[in-house]
Structure 1
Amino acid sequence: MTTYRRFRNTDPPALADVWNEAHTARGAYPVRTPALLERWIFSKPYFDPDGLIVAADEESNLVEGYVLAGFAPTAELNALNFAEGVISSVAVRPTARRKGVGRGLVSAAEEYLIRKGARTLRAGPTWPQCPFGFGLYGGTNAPGFLASDPDADPFFRALGYQPAGQTAVYQKKLDQPIALADARFGMLRRRYETQVLRAAAVQSWWHDAVWGTLEPVEFRLVDKLANNFPAARAVVWELEGYGWRWGTPSAGILDMQVRPDLRRQGMAKLLVSQVLRFLQDQFFGVCELHAPTDRADLTGLCKAATMELVDTGTTYLKPVPEDRQVPLRQATGLTPVGV
C-alpha cells in the first residue's frame, strides 16, 4: 500500500533517485547530487515542506514518487499569489506506475493548494508562474510540461486539466559558421554597439527568487549617439546540467527585450547574432531560446535566426469548484512573502 506524506529532511537522496529514474527525456538532466535539489528547490524563500508530497511504500518505506507544488507571484512580482496554485513537478518510479500513485500525488497536491487559498490550479510551470522547475527541467526557462515527456499530456487531461498555453523550444547548433545576413545590420552597427555585462540586473524579487544563485550574462545594444543608452538587451545563462544530456556545452537566451520605439528594425536579430557568435567563440555547442506560441515576434525571431524547433511545452489549468474553495479568512498561510 502507498502512503502520502510531507517532505522530510532525510528525503533528498531518494528524491534524486526518483528524479533520475523518471526524467530521462531531453528536457531534464541527471541529478548527480542532492545538492542540486537544495539549490533549485529547498533554498527558495517560499519553499514549504507541506507542498512537497512524497509517496512511499508502507511496508518497505521505499519512496515511489513525489509531487512539488507552490504558488504563482502577484502581478507586481513582489509576493506570492495564493489564489493561483502551481503543480511544478510530478515524478513516479517506472516500477510504481499504473498503480494510481501519480493520481494520488496530484490529488494530495491539489488539496494542499486549495487549503492555502487556491482558486485555480496550474500544472506545468511557465514564466512567471514557476515557483519551482527552473534550472532542473525545461531548459532555458520554464516552458510547462514538454511534449518529449509523452505521458504528461494524457495524464493531466485525464485529471481534468485543459491546455492553457504553449511554448516553442528552439535551438541553434553552433558547430557551423553563424550566417545571419540582413541588409539592416550595416546601418545598425554604425550606430549601436554591443556590450557584455558579466552580471545581469535582477528586475524583481521574483526574478531573484526563481533564478537563485544563477549569475547570467547580459548583452546590450547601446546607442553610441545617445550616451550609450540601452536599445535592446538579452540575458544569457549557461545551461549547466543540460549539457550532460545533450552532449555539448549549452547556453540559453533567458530574456530578450527591445525598446518599443525601436522594434521591427532588425535590432533583436542583430543582438541574437552577436550572442550566437559570442557563444560560439566560447566553445558552446547549442544555444536555446523559448518562445510562447502566441508571440509571433519571438517565434519569428527564432526562425529568422535559423533556429530549429526541438520541443514544445504546455501548461494546463483547472478551476477549483466553488464548493471546494476555502474562504480567504480561513485559508492558511496567506501572509505574502516578498520585499
Structure 2
Amino acid sequence: MRPCSVYCRGRGVEVTWRLRPFRNTDPPALVRLWNLALTGRGAGVLPSVNCLELAVLAKPYFDRYGLVIAESDGQVIGFAHAGFGPDSTGQKISYERGIICVLAVHPQWRRQGIGTQLLHQAEEYLRHRGAQEIYFGSHRPLCPFYWGLYGGSEPSGVLESDTEAKPFLQRRGYQVVATHIVYQRLLDGSSWPISSQAVAWKAKSELQVVPRPVHRNWFEACVASPLEMLRFQLVAGGRVLASVDAWEMELFGWRWKQPSIGLLDLHVADDLAGQGLESLLLAESLQYLDEQYYTLVEMHVPESAQALRKCLRELGFEMVDRGLVYRRGTLTETPG
C-alpha cells in the first residue's frame, strides 16, 4: 500500500491527513486512540501495549499492510485493520474471505471522510490479497485479531450498541448477514433453578473444572491461546455429558467496573440433547463462579438458537446487546 495524502475542510479550516501502513513505533499511539475512540460497552480498556501485542501484533499471520493508519502531522487519528480467517482444516490462512475487524477514528476527526477512506483502503488490501467476499465485524471463524479486546465473551460482529456503525456500513454497501444475542447475568448469590429434566441428571453426574484441552487446530491456538480458558464439564461414569468453556474478561471488567467472566462453546453429547443438561451445566457452573470473586457473566448466542436462549432466560440472563455481522454486496448466504 502506498501512502496517500488527502485534503479536506473540517470546521472551517483546511486539514491534511494521509494513510499509511502500520509501523513498529505505532502501538503506544494506537492504544491511546483505542481508549479515546472505542468507548462503548463492548470495548475493553487497554492499559498498555501488551494487550495489543497479544491480541494482534504477535499473531504469526499479522501483516502490517492490513493495519491501515490515518495520521496528521505525525498524530495517529484513525486506523482500520483487515485480515483473513482459516481454511476448512484450520491449519493455514485462507484468502477467499476477508474480514475488517476494527475501524476507529479519533472523536475530533470524525465526519471528515477519514473513516470512509480507511474502509476503502482496507477493502483494497483484502481484494489485492485475493478476497472474493468481504465481511465487517470479527466472528468465528473469521476472527484473526482482537478477541479479548472488543466484543465481549466472543467475537460476534459489530455490537449494536455502537450506534454509529450500522448506518455508516449500510451507506457503504454492507448488509447484516448474521445476528448474535449478547446475554449477561449478575452473580449475586441467587439460587439457580434448573429444568425438571435436569433434576435426574444432577444426582448421577458431577461438575469438573479443568484447563481447557488442547486447541483443535493451529488457527484456534493462534487466536484463543492468550485467553487461558477453563472448561466446566458434567461427567458420569467417566463420560463427559456436556461442557462449556470460560475465560476471565479482565479488560471488559474494567469497563463494567466489576469482575467479569465469559462463557462460550456450550456442547452436549448428541444422544443426550434435549434432556436438560444445558440447564444443569450452566446452573452448576454459575454456582461455582458465584463462589469465586466474579460478579458478572456474559454469553453470546446465535439469534436462531432458541432453545439455548430460553435456557439462559430461565436462569436469569438478560439481553444487553446484539452482535451484527456485515457483508459487502448482494448477499445470498450467511457466514459459517
User: TM-score normalised to the size of structure 2?
Assistant: 0.91
1:2-55: CA deviation from partner (whole Å, max 9, x where unpaired) = 211000000001101110111111101221111110011001111110100000
Map of 1:222 onto structure 2: 235
Checking the alignment, whether the CA contact within 8 Å between 2:194 and 2:280 is kept in structure 1 is: no
Aligned to 1:64: 77
Give 3-state SS (helix, strand or coil) of 2:196's partner: coil
Q: Does 1:308 align with 2:318?
A: yes
Work out the CA distance in 2 between the residues paired with 1:266 and 1:201.
27
Structure 1 contact 40–212 (Cα < 8 Å) conserved: no
Distance in structure 1 (CA, Å) of the matches to 2:301 and 2:57 = 28
1:276 corresponds to: 286
**Contact kept? 1:44, 1:212, Cα under 8 Å:** no
Contact 2:22 2:65 in 1 (8 A): yes
Contact 1:39/1:212 (CA < 8 Å) preserved in 2? no
> Is the partner of 2:288 in helix, strand or coil?
helix
**Partner SS for 1:241:** helix
1:157 and 2:170 aligned:
yes
- Partners of 2:91 and 2:117 in 1: CA distance: 32
CA–CA distance in structure 2, aligned partners of residues 6 and 182 of structure 1:
54
Runs of 4+ more than 3 Å apart: none
Give the structure 1 partner of residue 265 of structure 2.
255
Indicate whether 1:19 and 2:34 are aligned: yes
Query: Residues 75-114 of structure 1: matches in 2 within 5 Å?
Result: 75-114=88-127
2:57 to 42, 53, 72: 42
Is structure 2 residue 237 aligned with structure 1 residue 237? no
Which region of structure 1 is more displaced relative to structure 2, 261-270 or 288-297? 288-297
What SS is found at the alignment partner of 2:226?
A: coil
What is the CA distance between 1:192 and its match in structure 2? Answer: 1.6
Correspondence 1:55 to 2:65: no
Answer with 46-55 or 290-299: which moved more.
290-299
Kindly tell me: are residues 301 and 81 of structure 1, through their superposed partners in 2, closer, same or farther at Cα, counting changes over 3 Å? farther
Q: What is the alpha-carbon distance in structure 1 between the residues aligned to residue 80 and residue 277 of structure 2?
A: 42
Q: Aligned-pair distance for 1:183?
A: 2.1
What runs of 5+ residues in structure 2 fail to find an aligned partner? Answer: 1-15, 331-336
**Aligned AA (1:55):** A
In the TM superposition, what is the alpha-carbon distance from 1:319 to its structure 2 partner?
4.2
Match of 2:304, SS state, is coil
Deviation at 1:229, TM superposition (A): 1.2
Structure 2 letter corresponding to 1:126 = H
Tell me the alpha carbon deviations over residues 127-167 of structure 1, each in whole angstroms, 9 at most, x when there is no partner.
Answer: 11111121100110001100111001011111100101011
1:179, distance to aligned residue in structure 2 (A): 2.7
Whole-angstrom CA distance in 2 between matches of 1:47 and 1:315? 22
The CA distance in 2 between the partners of 1:78 and 1:301, in whole Å, is 34
The CA distance in 2 between the partners of 1:311 and 1:199, in whole Å, is: 27
- State the match for 1:191 in structure 2: 204
- Alpha-carbon separation, structure 2, partners of 1:295 and 1:73: 24
Partner of 1:134: 147
Q: Which residue of 2 aligns with 1:212?
A: 225
Residue 184 of structure 1: how far off its partner (Å): 2.5
Q: What residue ranges of structure 1 are gaps of 5+ in the alignment?
A: 321-339
Amino acid at match of 1:136: L
Provide the identity percentage. Answer: 37
How many residues end up aligned between the 2 structures? 316
Q: Which residue of 1 aligns with 2:256?
A: 246
Say whether 1:166 aligns with 2:179.
yes
| AA aligned opposite 1:49 | R
Q: Which amino acid aligns with 2:146?
A: G
User: Counterpart of 1:221 in 2: which secondary structure?
Assistant: strand
Q: Does 1:4 align with 2:19?
A: yes
Does the 8 A contact of 2:173 with 2:329 survive in 1?
A: no
Q: 2:193 aligns with which of 170, 175, 180?
A: 180
